[in-house]
């Protein structure tokens, strides 16, 4: 009697692409933050870094929205996470555009041409948008983590538990004033976000969504 072997589990190509997008986006975000300029007069590096961060947001959107579609938008936690992520996209793209393109363009006009109040307004706008981005992305992570925790198996539940931390801790640090969204604070927050993003990307890559 010959034994019939079970067909090997196949991973949907879209899952692999989405997973790769999340993993690559997480890696690029950490690399970009390591080269983040510390002043308005930073030359070409400012637009390059912030342009890379905007591209990362696009990769994350592709990966996370694929996750939402695979899990089903009819699930309340999945849909709520997608809506919160949409708010984070608006806020983070706005923050990156302000610091990466608006502020360098103002600085290029030369000293004394642009009022310091304009730079202050740009800084406050960047901080408000960056803070909103942390809150919105944190809520997205929390909602998606609740969906992970509802799934059977150790892997999704571990991802869910870590996602709750990745979403809630940065929010708590901002609310308590323990950090601000300056370069050092943003690097800390984005590193935590990147770690969970890469973990979800690996989960997608392995075809473990359902």
The residue assigned the tokens 């004394």 is 112
Average pLDDT of the segment spanning 21-35: 93
Domain assignment present for residue 135? The answer is yes
Average pLDDT of the segment spanning 158-167: 97
Q: Is the confidence at residue 13, as pLDDT, over 90?
A: no
Average pLDDT of the segment spanning 95-105: 92
Domain assignment present for residue 7? The answer is no
Q: Is the confidence at residue 41, as pLDDT, over 90?
A: no
Q: What tens digit of pLDDT does each residue of 123-141 get? A: 999 999 999 999 999 999 9
Domain assignment present for residue 8? The answer is no
Domain assignment present for residue 210? The answer is no
Domain assignment present for residue 159? The answer is yes
Q: Are 126 and 99 in contact (CB under 8 A)?
A: yes
Q: What tens digit of pLDDT does each residue of 46-73 get? A: 889 999 999 999 999 999 999 999 999 8
Average pLDDT of the segment spanning 178-206: 92
Query: How many domains is the chain partitioned into structurally?
Result: 1
pLDDT-derived band of residue 43, with 50, 70 and 90 as boundaries?
low
The DSSP call for residue 178 is S
The residue assigned the tokens 């944190």 is 138
Tell me what pLDDT residue 36 has. Answer: 82
Q: Is the confidence at residue 8, as pLDDT, over 60?
A: no
Tell me what pLDDT residue 2 has. Answer: 45
Q: From residue 45, how far is each of 34, 38, 108, 152, 197 by CA, in Å?
A: 12, 10, 14, 46, 25
* pTM for the model: 0.88
Tell me what pLDDT residue 5 has. Answer: 43
Tell me what pLDDT residue 17 has. Answer: 95
Q: From residue 158, how far is each of 59, 89, 118, 128, 188 by CA, in Å?
A: 24, 26, 46, 32, 22
Give the contacts of 201 (CB within 8 A, at least 6 positions apart).
Answer: 18, 19, 20, 21, 22, 23, 25, 26, 63
Tell me what pLDDT residue 37 has. Answer: 75
Tell me what pLDDT residue 204 has. Answer: 93
Average pLDDT of the segment spanning 6-29: 82
Q: Are 37 and 45 in contact (CB under 8 A)?
A: yes
Task: Specify burial of residue 195 (Cβ count, 10 A radius: 0-12, 13-18, 19+).
Answer: middle
Domain assignment present for residue 145? The answer is yes
Query: Mean of the per-residue pLDDT values for the chain?
Result: 89
Q: Is the confidence at residue 4, as pLDDT, over 60?
A: no
Q: From residue 92, how far is each of 13, 52, 101 by CA, in Å?
A: 29, 12, 13
Domain that residue 107 falls in: 13-205
Domain assignment present for residue 70? The answer is yes
Q: Is the confidence at residue 26, as pLDDT, over 60?
A: yes
The DSSP call for residue 200 is H
Of the given ranges (39-43, 111-115, 118-122, 145-149), which has the lowest mean pLDDT?
A: 39-43
Domain assignment present for residue 146? The answer is yes
């Amino acid at each position: 009697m010959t034994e019939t072997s079970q067909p090997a589990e196949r991973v949907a190509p879209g899952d692999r692409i989405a997973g790769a997008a999340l993993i690559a986006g997480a890696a690029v975000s950490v690399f970009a933050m390591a080269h983040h300029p510390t002043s308005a007069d930073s030359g070409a590096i400012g637009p390059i870094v912030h342009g890379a961060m905007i591209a990362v947001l696009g990769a994350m959107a592709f990966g996370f929205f694929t996750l939402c579609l695979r899990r089903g938008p009819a699930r309340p936690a999945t849909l709520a996470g997608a809506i919160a992520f949409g708010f984070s996209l608006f806020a983070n793209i706005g923050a990156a555009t302000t610091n990466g393109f608006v502020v360098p363009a103002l600085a290029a006009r030369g000293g004394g041409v642009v009022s310091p109040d304009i730079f202050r307004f740009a800084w406050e706008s960047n901080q408000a948008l960056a803070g909103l981005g942390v809150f919105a992305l944190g809520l997205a992570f929390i909602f998606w983590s609740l969906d992970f925790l509802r799934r059977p198996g150790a892997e999704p539940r571990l991802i869910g538990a870590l996602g709750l931390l990745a979403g809630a801790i940065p929010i708590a640090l901002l609310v308590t004033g323990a950090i601000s969204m300056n370069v050092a604070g943003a690097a800390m927050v984005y590193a935590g976000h990147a770690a969970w993003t890469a973990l979800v990307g690996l989960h997608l890559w392995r075809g473990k969504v359902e």
